[in-house]
């Protein structure tokens, strides 16, 4: 399944790039994150709790940041699994200047397995959008805090 | 001499007799597998693969094993020390298939480990606590891509994922080379044709979905070295044979029981890994064990049906005479060959002769492994696929020629004086009289009226179509030459003291009503009341031998065995009766059964009651010379051929222009299944078959995503036909008895499923024909129909 | 696993008390704890209706209700439907009209129909089909089930 979209942020792209790859910021901004640790350079392990319908559960996963080209783009490889199954995603993120703000374009190829794929498959897009929305809101807040 | 003045007993064969099974079922008193509880019984749960294809890197069972109440956790590799690979029932080459995967997983849902625990919830929790790591491999999902060089392969030794390849037709195949000796006649027929239609069609993958999921209780008694297996199966005797073989036991050490079974539709023919595992683990943990499938597991692991892709070419002359057929069929059989997997698609080509004189045929079949649930029989099993391809193609020719769909079929029918009729594929149709059946269907449906109604609706801007199909199918499986399990059936008939009758049948029913129809037959045979008869089935310790219920064989093979055993028992009853009437110099040949008596034909005053004779048989003083006491006889019936029922289905559909939703307005089915024992039950069989055939046409499809993840694994996503989706079916019959068995009955279990699918799709194509549509793939999803209305072309 | 919870449910006119796990489904309470195995389980997503019982008089899929939620309620199952030896008109209708084949969906189908006829004693064919659309039958194609419910409706109207 492909999930893609764009989002407008108020700050400059250099700031956004920094925030989006700061483990402490991510730990605070990702919804339901209970743990977010750097286990190797640009590789993180996290535990995340999702409380939505048939994809409800605790997931442990690994995030790798690849192809970093600050402040324009990077790629993420995500592999998470929990009792309801697992999700693997390959995501690319691009930041472009948009006046004083920044536009983020994101695109992810998501592969689900287990109950998530079977029962949650049709929820997955919606759940992802919900979580991504929460994440962006939180990043927005951080941008505003830095600007303040 | 006393004459019992009992009431005259009406003949019951052909009568609408209420089912004798029903009182227990409508009061919640029946016993299905999940209703069985044994002292000390433990519960199984399976850890299943959640990926489609991969090598098992590690399995961590420690957390599961540490849970209180967990008796045993065992992986596939460990279990392989107790259970070898599962046997199959076809002669085709097959890769090893273990009950629980040992090193590699090949479909989502394949078991990788098993938990034995004190209760069902706990077993499930423990299975969830097992951690499995895989090295994932690319999933093979598209059967055509699977055959390309460079595709990932599922099994070593099966290059390009090909399980079975066969080729026949033309003027014959050289058995040495398996190549056609001379195929020029086929090419010539197509070169000389006035019209050729060519269509790629998918007969999509379906989930059988018997309402009772599968389940098994196994109890191995160590001191006796005796295993009892209760299973939701269509064939307990085959279960006994195969479980015994895999457990290293003799058949004398295994009792298999099919208690009340909640539907089968072909998916409970296969003997599954869970059945072997339950037996093996009961022996291992020295306790009875139970496993009950949940619906999601059923979608993932109970065999699927159909999934045949057909490239069909049909040639004809301008007058509608069909001159040749070419069919290239690719069967997506899923990850493994199970009991009958590889055989099912072979039936498709064989049945593609339909009801027509077909001068030349070329048939190619390739069966391909993919990372999906294995396929096996599903109601119709090979025939619905073949008849769908053929009846769609015939309809396309009719449309191309501007012919009435009924008339093109009439023109090509095998005429009644050509039976028995040998087809291109080597089958011999036993009997048939197609034209009266077509005429009756046209009359019941008011065909001309339907066409006028359609045209009037179109004039109002509605999207309405009518469709017709004419099928022939094959029932009464055997004979033994073509059924690897044996194609006979067995029955026992015992006349008890007091003149009551207990009969057994190896045709183990799961909704077909054999307890009623078989009792009707015996009631007529012995001229005794229905209430005096009990039909027993489904337990190998009671029913000495048997094959089972599939391929619409209960009546045509099982019923014939019953009548044969009843004949033997009746002969003995007559001998005892004659011995009781020695003073009247009665010979057994002069005696008949009449209203509870055994009497000299035409002379009711010379008689004994059935009960008197039965009592004498068990206290035979004096014992007639040369006779053994008692009346308990058995018979095997081996059919010399199959039976070939046929029928005509007509339907009318309307498609909503705005939503694309298709509504089935009418369905008329005129079926000919030979002689009918119980019209109520036959109607019920037809209704159920129609609903499943319509389900395939309109609603149902198993869908996998590109990674081999099943996305229709619950009733939320797999659309089952519901009451409001179906119209009132209009049924009628013609009767063309079969000469193959003494009953003249052909079988009816699968007929409805076979005729209705092409009938409904033909109607849908007719509805969308004004939009330039020539073919629609199943199911007739609203989105698909909407696109065709708005964009035209094919789907 | 949570601590067992005490519940009391009136089942088919009899008070039944038990200590149950909070996650125990009503259908499993009926089947496993009370041995009322006439109520069946046909799916795990509340689509098929095989587990339908009357909960305080309303047809309810007993796989969607925890036993603890039914605490203090009245439950009627297929086993409690007949009046002694006399079948309920719906049971009789299903028998008379061949409204069942394998019988697995039948108890749930009948319990749904009981509620349907209570709400609408003279339903049309379309209303019956709509009314039982929460129950899946794979055997009958529903036609004889519709006949069975009509048969029962007529009989109940006469009495």
Q: Is B691 on the interface with C (CB under 8 A)?
A: yes
Residue-level pLDDT at A141: 87
Angle in degrees, 0-180, between the axes of helices B679-698 and B751-768, rounded to the nearest 10: 40
A120 touching B (Cβ < 8 Å):
no
Instruction: Nearest by CB to A111, from B296, B707, B713: name it.
Output: B707
Domain B429-475+644-795 has CATH 3.10.180.10: no
> Does the predicted interface ipTM exceed a cut of 0.85?
yes
Q: How many residues does chain B have?
A: 795
String of DSSP letters for A74-137: EEEEEEEEETTEEEEEEEEEEEEEETTEEEEEEEEEEEEETHHHHTSHHHHHHHHHHHHHHHHH
d(C-alpha B466, C-alpha B454), whole Å: 7
Domain C89-158: assigned CATH number: 1.10.150.120
- Out of C24, C35, C106, the one facing B26 most closely (by C-beta) is C106
Tokens of B526: 């012995």
Q: Do domains B22-27+479-637 and B429-475+644-795 have the same CATH topology?
A: yes
H or E element that contains B575: helix B560-580
Tell me the longest C-alpha to C-alpha distance in chain B. 89
CB C90 within 8 A of CB B684: no
Mean pLDDT by 10 residues, chain B (795 residues): 62 96 98 98 97 97 98 98 95 96 98 97 95 95 97 97 88 60 84 98 98 98 97 98 97 98 97 98 98 97 98 98 97 98 95 94 95 98 97 98 98 97 92 98 98 98 98 92 89 98 96 97 97 98 95 93 98 97 91 96 93 98 95 96 97 97 98 97 98 98 94 94 98 96 92 97 97 96 96 70
CA B128 to chain CA centroid, nearest Å: 34
Closest by Cβ to A118, choosing from B51, B707, B711: B711
Give the tokens for residue B776: 């629609």
Report CB contact under 8 Å: B729, C143: yes
Measure B357 CA to nearest chain C CA, in Å: 33
Quick one: closest CA in C to B213, which residue? C42
Q: DSSP 3-state assignment of B656?
A: coil
pLDDT given for residue A144 in this prediction: 85
User: Which residue of B lies nearest to A118 if distances are taken between CA atoms?
Assistant: B711
Contact B513, B552 (CB under 8 A): no
Q: How many CA atoms lie within 13 A of B308 on its CB side?
A: 33
The answer to whether C82 and C131 have CB atoms below 8 angstroms apart is: no
* Cβ B600 vs Cβ B586: under 8 Å: yes
Determine contact: B699 vs chain C, CB below 8 A.
no
Please state the rounded mean pLDDT for residues C48-60.
98
Question: Residue C141 and residue B35: Cβ atoms within 8 Å?
Answer: no
Angle, vertex CA B13, rays to CA B9 and CA B14, nearest 5: 120
Residues 6+ positions from A56 with CB-CB distance below 8 Å: A50, A84
Q: Where are the domains of chain B?
A: 22-27+479-637, 33-137+213-261+268-301, 429-475+644-795
> What is the structure's pLDDT at B2?
40
Tell me the whole-structure pTM to 2 decimals. Answer: 0.94
CA-nearest residue to A110 within chain B is: B707
Q: Which residue in chain B has the smallest CA separation from A112?
A: B709
E-only strand ranges, B38-161 = 42-48, 54-60, 70-75, 104-105, 111-117, 131-136
The CATH class of the C5-80 domain is: alpha beta
Kindly report the nearest CA distance between residue B656 and chain C, in angstroms. Answer: 19
Domain boundaries, chain C: 5-80, 89-158
> Span A77-104, mean pLDDT?
88
Q: DSSP per residue over chain C, as a string? A: -PPPEEEEEEETTEEEEEEE-TT-BHHHIIIIIS--TTS----SSS-S-TTEEEETTEEEETTSSBGGGGTT-EEE-GGGTSBTTBPPHHHHHHHHTT--SS-SSHHHHHHHHHHHHHH-SS--HHHHHHHTTTS--SSSTTHHHHHHHHHHHHHHHH-
Tell me what pLDDT residue B582 has: 86
- Interface partners of chain B (CB pairs < 8 Å, 3 or more) are A, C
Separation between Cα atoms, residue C105 and residue C48, nearest integer Å: 8
Question: Mind listing the domains of chain A with CATH numbers?
Answer: 2-147 (3.30.530.20)
Contact yes or no for C82/C91 (Cβ under 8 A): yes
Put simply, whether B38 touches C (Cβ < 8 Å) is no
Class of domain B22-27+479-637: alpha beta
Q: What is the pLDDT of residue C1?
A: 55
**């203090």: which residue's tokens?**
C72
Mutation site, C104, C109, C111, interface B, largest B CB count within 10 A: C104
Q: Which residue of B has its CA nearest to C146?
A: B723
Q: In the numeric block, which tokens belong to residue C75?
A: 């439950």
Query: What angle do helix axes C143-158 and B679-698 make, rounded to 10 degrees?
Result: 120
Mean pLDDT of C28-57: 97
Pick B33-137+213-261+268-301's CATH classification: 3.40.50.1100, 3.30.1360.120, 3.90.950.10, 3.90.1170.50. Answer: 3.90.1170.50
Residue B558: DSSP 8-state: I
User: For testing the chain B interface, which of C139, C147, C149, C150 should be mutated: the one with the most B CBs within 10 Å?
Assistant: C139
For residues C125 and C116, what is the distance between their CA atoms, to the nearest angstrom? Answer: 12
Any chain A CB within 8 A of the CB of B724? no
Strand order in the sheet with B603-609: B591-594, B597-600, B603-609
Query: What pairs with residue B169 in β-bridges?
Result: B362
Taking each helix axis from N to C terminus, what angle separates A121-147 and A13-20, rounded to the nearest 10 degrees?
120
Q: How far is CA A115 from CA A97, B108, B390, B710, B713, in A?
A: 40, 11, 39, 10, 9
Contact residues on chain C for B713, CB-CB shorter than 8 A = none
Neighbouring CB atoms inside 10 A of B623's CB total 13
Decide if B647 touches A, using CB distance below 8 A. Answer: no
Contact state of C95 with B23 under an 8 Å Cβ cutoff: yes
DSSP lists the bridge partners of residue B364 as: B167, B328
**Residue A120 pLDDT grade (very low, low, confident, very high; cuts 50, 70, 90):** low
Report yes or no: B125 at the A interface, CB cutoff 8 Å: no
């Amino acid at each position: 399944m492909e999930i893609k979209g764009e989002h407008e942020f108020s700050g400059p792209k250099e700031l956004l790039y920094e925030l989006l790859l700061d483990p402490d910021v991510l730990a605070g901004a990702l919804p339901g994150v209970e743990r977010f640790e750097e286990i190797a350079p640009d590789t993180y392990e996290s535990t995340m709790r999702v409380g939505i319908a048939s994809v409800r559960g605790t997931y442990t996963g690994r995030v790798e940041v690849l192809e970093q080209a600050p402040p324009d783009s990077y790629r993420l490889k995500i592999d998470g699994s929990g009792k309801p199954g697992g999700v693997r995603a390959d995501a690319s993120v691009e930041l472009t200047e948009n006046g004083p703000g920044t536009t983020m374009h994101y695109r992810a190829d998501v592969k689900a397995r287990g109950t998530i794929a079977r029962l949650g498959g049709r929820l997955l897009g919606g759940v992802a959008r919900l979580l991504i929305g929460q994440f962006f809101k939180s990043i927005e807040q951080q941008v505003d805090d830095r600007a303040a | 001499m006393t004459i019992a003045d009992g009431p005259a007993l009406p003949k019951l064969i052909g009568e609408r007799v209420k089912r004798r099974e029903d009182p227990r079922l409508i009061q919640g008193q029946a016993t299905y597998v999940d209703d069985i509880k044994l002292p000390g019984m433990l519960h199984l749960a399976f850890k299943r693969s959640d990926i489609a294809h991969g090598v098992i890197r590690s399995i961590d069972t420690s957390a599961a094993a540490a849970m209180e109440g967990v008796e045993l956790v065992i992986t596939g590799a460990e279990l392989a020390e107790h259970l070898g690979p599962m046997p199959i029932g076809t002669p085709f080459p097959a890769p090893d298939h273990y009950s629980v995967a040992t090193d590699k997983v090949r479909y989502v849902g394949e078991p990788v480990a098993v938990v034995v625990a004190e209760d069902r919830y706990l077993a499930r929790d423990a299975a969830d606590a097992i951690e499995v790591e895989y090295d994932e491999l690319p999933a093979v999902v598209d059967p055509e891509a699977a055959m390309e060089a460079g595709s990932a392969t599922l099994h070593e030794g099966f290059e390009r994922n090909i399980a079975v390849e066969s080729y026949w037709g033309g003027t014959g195949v050289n058995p040495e080379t398996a190549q056609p000796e001379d195929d020029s006649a086929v090419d010539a027929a197509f070169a000389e044709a006035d019209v050729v239609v060519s269509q790629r069609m998918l007969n999509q993958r379906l989930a059988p979905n018997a309402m009772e999921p599968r389940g098994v209780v196994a109890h191995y008694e160590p001191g006796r070295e005796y295993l009892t297996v209760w299973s939701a199966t269509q064939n307990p005797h085959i279960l006994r044979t195969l479980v015994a073989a895999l457990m290293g036991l003799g058949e004398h050490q295994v009792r298999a029981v099919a208690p009340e079974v909640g539907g089968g539709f072909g998916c409970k023919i296969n003997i599954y890994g869970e059945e072997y595992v339950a037996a093996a683990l009961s022996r291992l943990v020295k306790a009875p064990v139970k496993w009950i499938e949940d619906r999601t597991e059923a979608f993932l692991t109970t065999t699927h049906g159909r999934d045949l892709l057909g490239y069909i070419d049909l040639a004809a002359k301008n007058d509608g005479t069909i001159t040749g057929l070419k069919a290239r069929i690719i069967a997506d059989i899923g990850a493994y060959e199970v009991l009958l997997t590889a055989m099912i698609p072979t039936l498709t080509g064989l049945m593609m002769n339909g009801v027509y004189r077909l001068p030349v045929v070329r048939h190619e079949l390739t069966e391909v492994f993919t990372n999906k649930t294995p396929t096996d029989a599903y109601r119709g099993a090979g025939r619905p696929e073949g008849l769908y391809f053929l009846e769609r193609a015939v309809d396309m020719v009719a449309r191309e020629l501007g012919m009435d769909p009924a008339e093109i079929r009439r023109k090509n029918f095998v005429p009644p004086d050509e039976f028995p009729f040998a087809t291109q594929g080597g089958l011999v149709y036993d009997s048939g009289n197609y034209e009266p059946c077509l005429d009756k269907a046209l009359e019941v449906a008011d065909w001309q009226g339907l066409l006028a109604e359609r045209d009037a609706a179109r004039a109002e801007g509605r999207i309405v179509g009518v469709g017709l199909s004419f099928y022939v199918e094959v029932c009464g499986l055997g004979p033994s030459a073509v059924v690897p399990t044996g194609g006979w059936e067995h029955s026992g008939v015992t006349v008890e003291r007091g003149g009551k009758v207990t009969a057994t049948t190896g045709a183990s029913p799961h909704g077909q009503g054999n307890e009623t129809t078989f009792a009707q037959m015996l009631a007529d045979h012995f001229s005794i009341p229905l209430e005096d008869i009990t039909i027993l089935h489904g337990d190998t310790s009671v029913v000495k031998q048997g094959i089972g219920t599939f391929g619409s064989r209960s009546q045509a093979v099982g019923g014939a065995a019953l009548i044969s055993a009843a004949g033997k028992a009746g002969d003995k009853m007559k001998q005892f009766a004659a011995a009781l009437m020695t003073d009247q110099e009665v010979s057994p040949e002069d005696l008949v059964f009449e209203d509870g008596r055994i009497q000299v034909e035409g002379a009711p005053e010379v008689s004994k009651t059935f009960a008197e004779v039965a009592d004498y048989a068990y206290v035979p003083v004096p014992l007639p010379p040369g006779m053994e006491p008692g009346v308990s006889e058995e018979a095997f019936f081996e059919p010399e051929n199959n039976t070939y029922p046929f029928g005509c289905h007509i339907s009318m559909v309307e498609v909503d222009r705005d939503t694309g939703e298709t509504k089935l307005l009418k369905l008329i089915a005129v079926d000919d299944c030979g002689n009918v024992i119980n019209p109520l039950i036959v109607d019920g069989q037809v209704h159920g078959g129609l609903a499943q055939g319509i389900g395939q046409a309109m609603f149902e499809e198993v869908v996998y995503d590109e990674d081999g993840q099943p996305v229709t694994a619950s009733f939320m996503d797999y659309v089952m036909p519901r009451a409001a989706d179906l119209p009132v079916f209009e049924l009628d019959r013609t009767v063309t008895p079969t000469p193959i068995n003494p009953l003249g009955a052909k079988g009816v279990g699968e007929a409805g499923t076979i005729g209705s699918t092409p009938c409904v799709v033909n109607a849908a194509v007719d509805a969308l024909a004004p939009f330039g549509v020539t073919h629609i793939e199943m199911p007739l999803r609203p989105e698909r129909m909407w696109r065709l209305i708005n964009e035209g072309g094919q789907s | 696993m949570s601590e067992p919870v005490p519940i009391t449910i009136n089942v088919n006119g009899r008070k039944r008390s038990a200590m149950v796990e909070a996650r125990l489904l009503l259908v499993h309470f009926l089947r496993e704890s009370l041995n009322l195995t006439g109520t069946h389980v046909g799916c795990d997503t509340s689509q098929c209706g095989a587990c339908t019982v009357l909960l305080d008089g309303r047809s309810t899929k007993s796989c969607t209700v925890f036993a603890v939620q039914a605490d203090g309620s009245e439950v009627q199952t297929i086993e409690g439907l007949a009046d002694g030896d006399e079948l309920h008109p719906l049971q009789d209708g299903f028998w008379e009209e061949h409204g069942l084949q394998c019988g697995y969906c039948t108890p749930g189908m009948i319990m749904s129909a009981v509620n349907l006829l209570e709400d609408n004693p003279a339903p049309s064919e379309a209303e019956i089909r709509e009314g039982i659309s929460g129950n899946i039958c794979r055997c009958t194609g529903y036609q004889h089930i519709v006949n069975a419910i009509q048969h029962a409706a007529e009989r109940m109207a006469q009495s």
